[in-house]
Amino acid sequence: MTFPALVVAVLVTQAPEPAPFLGEFQIEDRAQARLGPATPLTVTVRIPATQLRPRELDRRFRLRHPEADTVRFEVRGYPASRDPLLPRHRRPSFVIDYDQKPVQALRERFLAQGKPPTLEALTAFVDQSIVKKNLSRGFDFASVVARRAEGDCTEHAVLLAALARSFRLPARVVLGLALVEGTEGLKAFGHAWVEVREGKHWKPADAALRGVTELQYLPLNVLEDESASYLGAAIRQGSLMAVQGLVLEDAPPGE
């Protein structure tokens, strides 16, 4: 069987200052096919030899030759993770502080609806609970988000992870890029979302882009440091990838 595919060239250089993943990146779209969650992609990433590649690129795509300036890999659907389930994916932490009163109160509001705590229901609830959707916050932890009901994708992600863990659903926050097809064409955004463990797999959940169907994710880092130094760790991870732009092209049909 042949598949329409896209080639994504991600141009990467060192940022002059550390920068988070939020924001829109320039994109040149030469592709004819519209983007969807299962659209096959061939991704070429160019990184200066002086920079470390984002950890998830190597882990999820089994990349070799770490000294190379250019790496190339295929994406077919959501890039799966092989990470094991760990006890910390269920526990409260400084960032995912579901043991604090604001998150517990929000949890009680969810239970009052009489709905089972499925991943889909929790994702919708977080989307509805964050009523002030803006970029004014700086990566708040979950109890602050629950209290303020304000934020962008990072706030949606930490609150969803907190509620998921409160219902014994192992969850973690992922940082990376979201490629989104809309009425104005294809756009690329720095983004944060959640992965929840279901069976032997990590499944993406995104309260900030709930209902968006024409998109693809490119995970770059998992937020593993959930201590009081999490913001510094997240900024350091963001500074590893200063994306100059994206180029999308139709790729030759593949088997």
pLDDT band of residue 119 (cuts 50, 70, 90) is: very high
Q: Find out whether 125 and 167 touch, Cβ atoms under 8 Å.
A: no
Arithmetic mean of pLDDT, 122-148: 95
**DSSP 8-class letter at 165:** H
Decide if pLDDT at 9 tops 50.
yes
Residue 174: strand pairing partners: 193, 222
pLDDT value for 207? 97
pLDDT value for 204? 96
* Cα 216 versus chain centre, distance: 10
The one-letter amino acid code at 14 reads: Q
212, two tokens: 């968006």
Between 243 and 120, the more confident residue is 120
pLDDT value for 29? 74
19, two tokens: 């920068």
Please give the radius of gyration of the chain, using alpha carbons only, rounded to the nearest integer: 18
pLDDT value for 253? 66
Mean pLDDT of the chain: 83
pLDDT band of residue 32 (cuts 50, 70, 90) is: confident
Q: What percent of the chain has pLDDT over 70?
A: 78
Q: Residues of 4-24 as b/e, b for ≥16 C-beta within 10 angstroms?
A: ebbbbbbbbeeeeeeebbbee
C-alpha separations of 240 from 18, 45, 59, 106, 197 in Å: 8, 13, 16, 35, 27
> Which range has highest mean pLDDT (1-15, 185-199, 230-244)?
185-199
Decide if pLDDT at 15 tops 50.
no
180, two tokens: 């989104």
Out of 67-71, 103-107, 141-145, which region has the weakest mean confidence (pLDDT)?
67-71
Between 98 and 59, the more confident residue is 98
CA 123/CA 205 separation, integer angstroms: 7
Decide if pLDDT at 70 tops 80.
no
**β-strands 201-205, 185-198 pairing:** antiparallel
pLDDT value for 75? 82
Q: Is the pTM here over 0.75, yes or no? A: yes
Q: What is the dihedral of CA 147, 151, 157, 158, to 10 degrees?
A: -40
